[in-house]
Structure 1
């Protein structure tokens, strides 16, 4: 495959997956702008198979979009020979490096904090009602953390291509 075409594909994968990933967080904020604690009665009845399938598909889509967005971003940095300089925040690569580090923190937060707790809330992993209630608060805070981190992430991603010289 031609280098330019491969680069274009990586950029589009990064962009579309990033929109899906971050868009899910923004949609969550719009749908539920404030923390509303669940009641035990909210968790006492297991959802039907159709609801569980929808929940699994939705959560799977945005989780895997995070992996595609992060992987495509790291691949593009590596392909250009920028990965070491970006990750060590050197010169004009510092802004895109900050974006890469923020994206990495967001990815780790999603997969190692939010998702394990969300699985309990959704009943995909066994947990007591009390544990599920506790986990619902953790998932809310973890999701909001990623939403807030996405603002500087987007700034640094744009600054990497449009203004990186200001940081050099």
Structure 2
């Protein structure tokens, strides 16, 4: 009973937090369809404490949502006894395993590439303006990479339960 409840929680957490994480990426593409370099002439004094708090909350929410999505996905695979076979891309679990590996790459991209550079762009970490401008391009490309990777990720997740016979 407790494991079934845990599976239920994993499933819903995975769905809800995936909407937050991937939804943030898609919204970013709609709001900013092309790369616009950071304006090096922007006045740092115009930045208010309220704006900085909102930016930290927004970026923190979507970053931490990625961890909940990954942990809940791995938890569901573990609960079903599929984790090892999925990660080894073995047999019928290879399809969901591809989704798990893509999700892992997206998580690593977010935490190890995008976020360290985004902190400089947003001014959370002091950096010279030239560095912030350079980091703005890296964050743009890193974010777009995760958005593009989400398409095959969703395909493999859906195909594992609703189209395995295609493989």
Q: Cα distance, 1:50 vs. partner?
A: 0.2
State the Cα deviation string for residues 64-83 of structure 1 (Å, max 9, x = none). Answer: 00000000000110111101
What are the within-5 Å matches in structure 2 for residues 1-168 of structure 1? 2-42=2-42, 44-45=44-45, 47-167=47-167
For the 8 Å contact 2:20–2:62, the answer to whether it is kept is yes
Q: Cα distance, 1:36 vs. partner?
A: 1.2
Q: For 1:46 and 1:133, how far apart are their aligned partners in 2?
A: 18
Q: For 1:158 and 1:47, how far apart are their aligned partners in 2?
A: 43
The 1:64–1:74 alpha-carbon spacing in structure 2 relative to 1, beyond 3 Å, is same
- RMSD across aligned positions (CA): 1.2
Q: For 1:32 and 1:96, how far apart are their aligned partners in 2?
A: 31
Moved over 3 A (4+): 43-46
Q: Secondary structure at the match of 2:37?
A: coil
For the 8 Å contact 1:95–1:157, the answer to whether it is kept is yes
Q: Which consecutive residues of structure 1, in runs of 5 or more, have no partner in the other structure? A: none
Q: Cα distance, 1:43 vs. partner?
A: 6.1
Equivalent pairs, count: 167
Q: For 2:4 and 2:46, how far apart are their aligned partners in 1?
A: 50
For the 8 Å contact 1:93–1:164, the answer to whether it is kept is no
For the 8 Å contact 2:3–2:79, the answer to whether it is kept is no
State the Cα deviation string for residues 8-48 of structure 1 (Å, max 9, x = none). Answer: 11100000010100000000000000111122113644621
For the 8 Å contact 1:44–1:129, the answer to whether it is kept is no
TM-score by length of 2: 0.96
The 1:105–1:43 alpha-carbon spacing in structure 2 relative to 1, beyond 3 Å, is farther
Q: Cα distance, 1:126 vs. partner?
A: 1.0
For the 8 Å contact 2:38–2:132, the answer to whether it is kept is no
Q: Which consecutive residues of structure 2, in runs of 5 or more, have no partner in the other structure? A: none
